[in-house]
Structure 1
């Protein structure tokens, strides 16, 4: 059944009327206390929050980012959980953010990338990440996915590259197995027909950090082969 624009507006007005009668502090408390839920409950809560966010963003006239903001906040507040469950939290949030990054409203897409970077950095700041060799790969997969996407705008892809540049510069020792994704992102950036000089400069900045990184110096040959594969197309564009 197709919902008319007038019905959508009425639903929105009804929702806003209900919200006006609820104490905002109590709503914030609900999200803040998610850290006290058992794992299965909090993962379900986050999944439902992502679904609500999807519905809010589907509104053509007035897409809302309230639930998207709260989803990121809930994820951050639950980073005190054991590292073994981080990948489950990241899977839910990053999948939704990657979808939002391809939103027809470019401003919302850019906001989603900034959220993705913010949350990824929160993970990378934890020392435990160094003990989880493959987690860097998990963190960078959504960024790689966006570089491959035909739906993501050039602006979004440019911000993806600069975000990865920021993460590599700040936390090179925490990237681990994610270096393979980093170099794949470099290749994809260089092959983009609309890549501008700023994007390519960011790509080369990543390469410089990679070469200087002690972690990468001890890394496997596979990472270095990925690095070499990413360099020629980038160089040809400068």
Structure 2
């Protein structure tokens, strides 16, 4: 489009149009930057809520975890499912793993039950994410070892038994067996009370209808024995 400016008024009008267009673009750019900065600030603030959970006292962290798991369950069964809060459950588990064992046991009673349900979700993507998250947490926990006469490993690994028993997906059951095999390969020296859960999973795997699951469990048992 070509503008013809024949009078001073036309020139002024044309200049205003150009200036207004440039101003609008500048304002849009500034607004975009403000929104981006605001979004980043919100993300940082939200992250601080979860990372700061390690400073809560015993009763407060239990209430915090219970509420978060409740929200997570609502998200998992929304349409479409969302896994934001499930990811945050994993994060606060990491942040609070250094608590005294009695406090951690109360936390895990809630978190473990949540993983039991999430890992048996009808959508395989959700259950896969839950099992993989559980695997990562378990590896971190097993690295700490276990004191004599304590049974925290048994509590921590219990969800794998429940998932193996209740999940009808052979893909997820295969993943559970592979997780347990990985624990044995990487952390056998640190496993104490967790052996009961491990052999329980292998026992269920031995009766599985999927030949690959049976063979994998048998191979791992052979290495242990």
Report the CA distance shift for 1:152/1:86 in structure 2 as closer, same or farther (over 3 A): farther
Q: Is the contact made by 1:125 and 1:171 (CA closer than 8 Å) also made in structure 2?
A: yes
Structure 2 gaps, min length 5: 1-37
Q: CA RMSD in A?
A: 1.9
The residue that corresponds to 1:210 in the other structure is 224
Q: Is the contact made by 2:177 and 2:217 (CA closer than 8 Å) also made in structure 1?
A: yes
The alpha-carbon deviation at position 123 of structure 1 amounts to 1.0
Q: Map 1:1-238; keep pairs closer than 5 Å.
A: 23-59=42-78, 61-127=79-145, 129-131=146-148, 133-149=150-166, 151-193=167-209, 195-197=210-212, 199-211=213-225
Whole-Å separation in 1 of the counterparts to 2:150 and 2:182: 20
The alpha-carbon deviation at position 135 of structure 1 amounts to 1.9
Whole-Å separation in 1 of the counterparts to 2:90 and 2:149: 22
Deviations 1:210-229 (A, max 9, x none): 22xxxxxxxxxxxxxxxxxx
Q: Is the contact made by 1:146 and 1:152 (CA closer than 8 Å) also made in structure 2?
A: no
TM-score by length of 1: 0.73
- What SS does the aligned partner of 2:194 have? helix
Q: Which has the larger radius of gyration?
A: 2
Q: Is the contact made by 1:130 and 1:173 (CA closer than 8 Å) also made in structure 2?
A: no
Report the CA distance shift for 1:69/1:133 in structure 2 as closer, same or farther (over 3 A): same
The residue that corresponds to 2:29 in the other structure is none
TM-score by length of 2: 0.77
Number of corresponding residues: 188
